[in-house]
Amino acid sequence: MIDTTIDVINKLGLHARASGKLIEVTSKFRSSIQIGKGDKLVDAKNIMSLLMLGAGKGTTLRLVIDGADEDKALEEIQTLFAAKFYEAE
């Protein structure tokens, strides 16, 4: 199991388009992927749950991944966040 944090660095935060891109990544994996603030974790494969987080720029999110492909899932999620969800700034 991986339990780490990730920072939201894109200008608009985890809005609808960014959440959709995150789901494109998370839904490829069999591992359980949860994201949230502190103990309030939500399913990172559910768009409504992601939008309800209200994670704006500068938010530090907790990421919990558990499963056979957890390492690859973490790598792809970190890449997506680092690339600012491939949005123009």
**For 2-86, CATH number?**
3.30.1340.10
* 55 and 85 Cβ atoms separated by less than 8 Å: no
Task: Respond yes or no: is residue 15 known to be catalytic.
Answer: yes
Mean pLDDT of 66-83: 98
Show the DSSP H helices in 4-69 as ranges: 16-26, 47-52
Determine how many CB atoms are found less than 10 A away from the CB of residue 10: 20
* 10 and 59 Cβ atoms separated by less than 8 Å: no
**Residue tagged active-site, from 6, 12, 15, 37:** 15
Residue for token digits 């994201």? Answer: 35
* Per-residue pLDDT reduced to its tens digit, 5-59: 999 999 999 999 999 999 999 999 999 999 999 889 999 999 999 999 999 999 9
Give the H or E element holding residue 34: strand 32-37
**Which pTM does this prediction carry?**
0.94
Domain ranges in the chain are 2-86
Q: For residue 65, what pLDDT band results from cuts at 50, 70 and 90? A: very high
